[in-house]
Amino acid sequence: MSDIIQLLPDHVANQIAAGEVVQRPASVVKELLENAIDAQATHIKLIIKEAGKTLIQVIDDGIGMSVTDARLSFERHATSKIKSAEDLFELNTKGFRGEALASIAAIAHVELKTKQEKDEVGTEIKIEGSEVVAQEICVTPKGTAISVKNLFYNIPARRNFLKSNAVELRHIIDEFHRVAMAHPTLKFDMYHNGSEVFNLPLSNNRQRIVNIFGGKTNEKLVPVKEETDLVTISGFVGKPEYAKRSRGEQFFFVNDRFIKSPYLNHAVNAAFEGLLKDKAHPSYFIYLQVDPRSVDINIHPTKTEIKFEDEHALYAMLRSTIKHSLGQFNVAPVLDFNRDSSMDTPYEYKSKMAKTPTIEVDRSFNPFKEEKITGSNTSSKSYTSFKKESTGSWENLYVGLESEMETTKPKENDFSSVEFESEEVTGSIFENEEKTTANHTTYQLQRKYIVTTIKSGMVIVNQHRAHQRIVYEELLRGITMASAVSQQLLFPLKLSFSKKEIALLETVKEQLENTGFIFGEQRLGEIEITGIPAVATEKEVSVLLEQLINDLENEVPDSGFSQTDLLAKSMARSIAVRTGVELAPEQQQYMVNSLFACTEPTITPDNKPTFITLTVDEIDKKF
Ligand code: ADP
Ligand code: MG
């Protein structure tokens, strides 16, 4: 057999290698910003169109390149930053692999304009799919401007893999944040589709963080500082009371490079131990300066993972430094004593040992007293939240019904509950609800379960789970039929979010509106909300949106449907009445009836059982 091995042509090799460096537009942004920083720029401008799919341009005022260097910069392994392998251990630059420009040029249309200070004129080079198509002399200011157009134009599979503009823009903003936060003494601007997204002036670390995450961030920050032979730690942690459900604001920088480190993240969490509510994540912006020889940043092509020589010492130091800061700034004690304990019920409840359920009988309870009350209503109006303090809204719900019932039907009689008991139990336990539920009794057990009887025995409904199912189906109906009911707020709610969070919410704005949200003006990291879904209360809106952001961040849904589903699930989880909330009898009945009016009453949106049944046979066996 003849020889079959051949060397891949350069442009093919480059395309393959590009896959490692360039996953999405945000990867290009990162590489170009880092090159500008390595070129000692003081002002860096990022211009994006269509979330980077059509244009990514970075303009810097750095040292520029000579004609030869400009041409060479697109060759693989062409770098001015290291000369030998030893240099790898003394790195002071972001780049060193000499791969970024070669990779980008293999999969996009690239235009470079560059000029060094000493030169009269600059160089302009155009490259398409690794081929130089033009090289000219040009007039351009000192520094370098690179535009990357039509990313992945020659790899359709990759291009098709890109997510929606909103998602890709989010990734770009993430990279921009990371680079800008690592270099507060440089000026950064960012434009998207012609409008300014960020304009970050020269500043210090604190101002830079505030400029990025919004004015309200300032009061949340606790400074962290420590200097040892091994490491200099500086930066900030967020006060525990501002800890979020989303992990969004967690940043480590090592020698001005953003890195990911689950190990160090653990150290920060350990410092916060006992100060955070369940599922809350502290914000942190930690800057570590270490001897470049003590780290290895060569282990990952995008260089976000690094290896420390003495990880354990670093862990211990970071933890104790943060602990110390939290103590020094009196953050810990304030939290302990100023807590509103009434807010804590669900958490306390959680840690308690479960008691053996006991049935408490209210001897004064007369099931026939409220004979006009029926729970069969499943109109959207009836889904008003359970958490409203007064039962007024509940009564209101039934007012209309009462008269309706009276005119359309004979008065329910005392036998209805008996009838109910004698009903055949089929797939839907409450099939004949109008007749059967008017008078039947429910009990709330341990502020967690609703117990009611059926012919064959009893049903035990988990109130939180059942309500999740009810709200979930209601929201889905609202979204798909655009029929949700809104509550107008007397005073608009103003909630602040970071730009990234706002970008994330934008991706589901339409669905949110279909659940009943009405958005007003949006400016300076603040969203104004003038109407909220009828199923939610004003108090829970901010937690609801935070949880939603968190869920959207962790699961990037691909299709419109799964996004709607994720949104409905997330909101239902936030809105559903918690364990520990006492429900009035009519609320209990409403819950049971609405649950069994659902399309899939047996499980929560996350497939957990919503109720169990206990038959008389099973009870008999226990005696
Ligand atoms: P690396 O950054 O790893 O060296 P790149 O492919 O990103 O590799 O860049 C190749 C070379 O091109 C760099 O080493 C640098 O000399 C030059 N270069 C890239 N971008 C710029 C810029 N914005 N200004 C000046 N020189 C640049
Ligand atoms: Mg580079």
Contacts of 36 (CB under 8 A, 6+ apart): 44, 58, 60, 62, 144
**Letter string b/e over residues 486-523, b meaning 16 or more CB atoms within 10 A of that residue's CB:** bbebeeebebbbbbbbbbbbbbbeebbbbbbbbbeeee
* Local structure of 236: helix, strand or coil: strand
Supply φ then ψ for residue 22, to 5 degrees: -115, 100
Looking from the CA of residue 100, the nearest atom of ligand 1 is 6
- List the strands of the sheet with 231-238, edge to edge: 221-227, 231-238, 284-290, 250-254, 257-259
CA-CA distance, 194 to 20, in Å (whole number)? 30
Residue 279 reports pLDDT greater than 60: yes
Ligand at minimal distance from the CA of 100 is 1
Looking at residue 317, its pLDDT comes to 93
Distance 201 CA to ligand 2 centre (A): 24
Determine which residue's CA is closest to atom 12 belonging to ligand 1: 73
CA-CA distance, 78 to 72, in Å (whole number)? 6
Provide mean pLDDT across the span 246-268.
90
* Local structure of 184: helix, strand or coil: coil
CA-CA distance, 484 to 461, in Å (whole number)? 26
Provide mean pLDDT across the span 116-139.
95
Looking at residue 388, its pLDDT comes to 37
How many CA atoms does the CB half-sphere of 576 hold within 13 Å? 27
Residue with the bigger pLDDT between 99 and 124: it is: 124
Residues in the 5 Å CB sphere of ion ligand 2: 35, 95, 100
Ligand at minimal distance from the CA of 39 is 1
**50-66 pLDDT per residue, tens:** 999 999 999 999 999 99
The gap from C-alpha 411 to its chain's centroid, in whole angstroms, comes to 52
Determine which residue's CA is closest to atom 25 belonging to ligand 1: 64
Q: Which residues, in sequence order, are bridge partners of residue 532?
A: 487
**413-465 pLDDT per residue, tens:** 333 333 333 333 333 344 344 444 445 688 999 999 999 888 888 899 999 99
**Average pLDDT taken over every residue of the chain:** 80
Residue 517 reports pLDDT greater than 70: yes
Q: Are 310 and 259 in contact (CB under 8 A)?
A: no
Residue 549 reports pLDDT greater than 50: yes
Residue 316 reports pLDDT greater than 80: yes
Distance 119 CA to ligand 2 centre (A): 23
CA-CA distance, 569 to 548, in Å (whole number)? 9
Confidence bin at 406 (pLDDT 50/70/90): very low
- What distance, in Å, lies between the first and last C-alpha atoms of the chain? 83
Residue with the bigger pLDDT between 278 and 225: it is: 225
CA-CA distance, 187 to 42, in Å (whole number)? 6
Residue 250: left if φ>0, alpha if ψ -120 to 50, beta else—which one? Answer: beta
How many percent of the chain have pLDDT more than 70?
A: 80
CA-CA distance, 528 to 113, in Å (whole number)? 43
Compute the residue count for the chain.
623
Q: Are 115 and 143 in contact (CB under 8 A)?
A: yes
Looking at residue 540, its pLDDT comes to 87
Provide mean pLDDT across the span 600-620.
88
Confidence bin at 93 (pLDDT 50/70/90): confident
* Local structure of 246: helix, strand or coil: coil
Q: Are 294 and 282 in contact (CB under 8 A)?
A: no
Looking from the CA of residue 36, the nearest atom of ligand 1 is 23
Max mean pLDDT range (190-204, 394-408, 453-467, 599-613): 190-204
Looking from the CA of residue 82, the nearest atom of ligand 1 is 4
Q: Which two tokens stand for residue 294?
A: 């003590």
**Letter string b/e over residues 58-91, b meaning 16 or more CB atoms within 10 A of that residue's CB:** bbbbbbbbebeebbebbebeebbebeeeeeeeeb
Looking at residue 335, its pLDDT comes to 41
Distance 301 CA to ligand 2 centre (A): 11
Distance 390 CA to ligand 1 centre (A): 66
Q: Look at strands 122-128 and 109-115 and give their pairing.
A: antiparallel
Q: Are 438 and 579 in contact (CB under 8 A)?
A: no
Residue 197 reports pLDDT greater than 60: yes
Pocket test for ligand 1, best of 35, 63, 71 (most atoms within 8 A of CB): 35
Q: Are 592 and 451 in contact (CB under 8 A)?
A: no
Distance 101 CA to ligand 2 centre (A): 7
Which residues have any ligand 1 atom within 6 Å of their CB?
A: 31, 35-36, 38-39, 60, 62-65, 73, 78-81, 95-102, 144
Looking at residue 250, its pLDDT comes to 93
Provide mean pLDDT across the span 392-400.
37
Looking at residue 54, its pLDDT comes to 96
Say which range, 86-100, 319-333, 424-438, has the weakest mean pLDDT: 424-438
Distance 37 CA to ligand 1 centre (A): 10
CA-CA distance, 552 to 555, in Å (whole number)? 5
Residue with the bigger pLDDT between 552 and 235: it is: 235
Q: Which residues, in sequence order, are bridge partners of residue 307?
A: 296
The residue behind tokens 């010492």 is 313
Contacts of 249 (CB under 8 A, 6+ apart): 213, 238, 283, 284, 285, 498
Distance 613 CA to ligand 1 centre (A): 68
Looking from the CA of residue 58, the nearest atom of ligand 1 is 23
Q: How is the chain split among helix, strand and coil, in percent rounded to 5?
A: 40, 20, 35
Q: Are 484 and 515 in contact (CB under 8 A)?
A: yes
Degrees (nearest 5) of the Cα angle 405, 407, 408?
A: 65
Determine which residue's CA is closest to atom 21 belonging to ligand 1: 35
Burial (0-12, 13-18, 19+ Cβ within 10 Å), 49: middle
Q: Which two tokens stand for residue 383?
A: 């889904």
Ligand at minimal distance from the CA of 101 is 1
Q: Are 441 and 370 in contact (CB under 8 A)?
A: no
DSSP, res 41: -
pTM of the model: 0.61
CA-CA distance, 560 to 281, in Å (whole number)? 29
Q: Are 5 and 97 in contact (CB under 8 A)?
A: no
Looking from the CA of residue 104, the nearest atom of ligand 1 is 6
CA-CA distance, 553 to 281, in Å (whole number)? 14
DSSP, res 361: P
Looking at residue 433, its pLDDT comes to 40
Supply φ then ψ for residue 73, to 5 degrees: -60, -20
Looking at residue 1, its pLDDT comes to 66
Residue with the bigger pLDDT between 86 and 5: it is: 5
Residue with the bigger pLDDT between 422 and 231: it is: 231
The gap from C-alpha 203 to its chain's centroid, in whole angstroms, comes to 28
Q: For 425-493, give the DSSP string.
A: P-SSTTTTHHHHSSS--EEEETTTEEEEEETTEEEEEEHHHHHHHHHHHHHHHHHHHT---EEEEEEEE
Provide mean pLDDT across the span 564-587.
88
DSSP, res 366: -
Say which range, 180-184, 377-381, 477-481, 509-513, has the weakest mean pLDDT: 377-381
CA-CA distance, 65 to 42, in Å (whole number)? 16
Residue 17 reports pLDDT greater than 70: yes
